[in-house]
Amino acid sequence: MMPANPVEIGPLRCGRGQPLLFIAGPCVIESQELALKVARRLAEIRDELGIALVFKSSFDKANRTSVDSFRGPGLAAGLEILAKVKAATGLDVLTDVHETSQAEPAAQVCRILQIPAFLARQTDLVHAVAEATGKAGGVVNIKKPQFLAPEDMVHAVKKCEAFGNPRVLLTERGTTFGYGRLINDMRAIPVMQGLGPPVIFDATHSVQLPGGSTTGGQRQMVSFLARAAVACGCDGLFFETHPDPDKALSDGPNMIPLDEFPRLIRQLLRLREALTETTDSQGD
C-alpha cells in the first residue's frame, strides 16, 4: 500500500496538482458560541475566496505546560460542538486526539484526526487513529515532532498504511533549537513530500516560544513563515485564528486575528498563482 496523493478529504482534495488546503480555527473549543462564530466566518471566507478550508479546534489540550491551563470541554461535549459546527457550516472538521480510546468516537464526527507532534511516535495511538479513520473514510494528519528529522516521518507513514489508512497528511511545525525557540527548516517540506503524502505547514505553532508556565509566541512572524512555505511548495497551511487572540484561553500569542485572515489568504493565493505560472512557463 502506498500513501495517497492527492488525499481525498470528503469533497476536497489535497496534494499534487490541487489548490492549497487551509486548516483553520481556534486552538481550543472555548465555548459552543465561539466555535460557531469562528466557523461561520470561516465558511464565509471559504465562499468569498473559493478556497478549500477545514475547520480545526481541540476538545482537550492535554499537553499544556501548567496544571492551571485551560484544557477545553472534553471529548463528549467537544465532539457535540464540532458536530454542530459541521452541520451549521458544511465545513469538514479536524481535531486532535491524545488517547487510543478517543480515536473511534472522534472519527465518527471529524473527517481528519490529528496526532500531536509529541505523540507521533506512539504506535498504539497511530494504530488506533489510522484504523478508526480508515473505517470512517477519514484522514490522518500527523504533526512532525519538534525533535525528529523530516525524513524519519517515513515510519509514521508506514504505520498508517500498515494499520489500514493510506490517506495521510504530514505537518511541519518547527524544530526545537536550544531552549525557548523553534526554527523552520523549509527543506522539510520537499523532504516529507518525497515520502509520498501531501505536506501541510503549520504557520502558527511554528512561531511558538516554548518555556515558562505558558507558551509564548511571535504572532507577527506568522505571515513571513506562511509565505515562505508556499514558496517552497507546501500543499496546505494550518492556522489557528481567533476573534481576539489576546483574550484567547490557549495559544493566544500565536494565533492571528480572525479579521486579518482573509488578507493573508489572498497574499498566499497570489503567491501560489505566481509560482504556478512560473512553473508552467518553464514547462513550455
Which structural domain range is residue 226 located in? 7-283
Q: Is the distance from CB of 247 to CB of 257 less than 8 angstroms?
A: no
Q: How many domains, in total, are found in the chain?
A: 1
And the C-alpha cell for 9?
Answer: 478529504
For position 217, what pLDDT does the model report?
77
Domain-located, residue 78: yes
Domain-located, residue 1: no
Across-strand partners of 183?
175
For position 69, what pLDDT does the model report?
74
CA angle 21, 127, 138 (to 5 degrees): 35
CATH number for the domain harbouring residue 260? 3.20.20.70
For position 240, what pLDDT does the model report?
96
Q: Which residues contact 55 (CB under 8 A, 6 or more apart)?
A: 24, 25, 38, 39, 42, 82, 85, 86, 89, 91, 92, 93, 94
Domain-located, residue 96: yes
For 120-171, the pLDDT digits (tens) are: 999 999 999 999 999 999 999 999 999 999 999 999 999 999 999 999 999 9
Residue closest to 183 by CA, chosen among 153, 210, 156: 210
Domain-located, residue 83: yes
Domain-located, residue 124: yes
For position 252, what pLDDT does the model report?
85
And the C-alpha cell for 136?
Answer: 470512517
Domain-located, residue 2: no
What are the residue ranges in the chain where pLDDT is below 50?
A: none
Domain-located, residue 260: yes
The helix/strand count (H/E) of the chain reads as: 8, 15
Domain-located, residue 41: yes
Burial class (CB in 10 A: 0-12, 13-18, 19+), 100: middle
For 49-66, the pLDDT digits (tens) are: 999 999 999 999 877 666
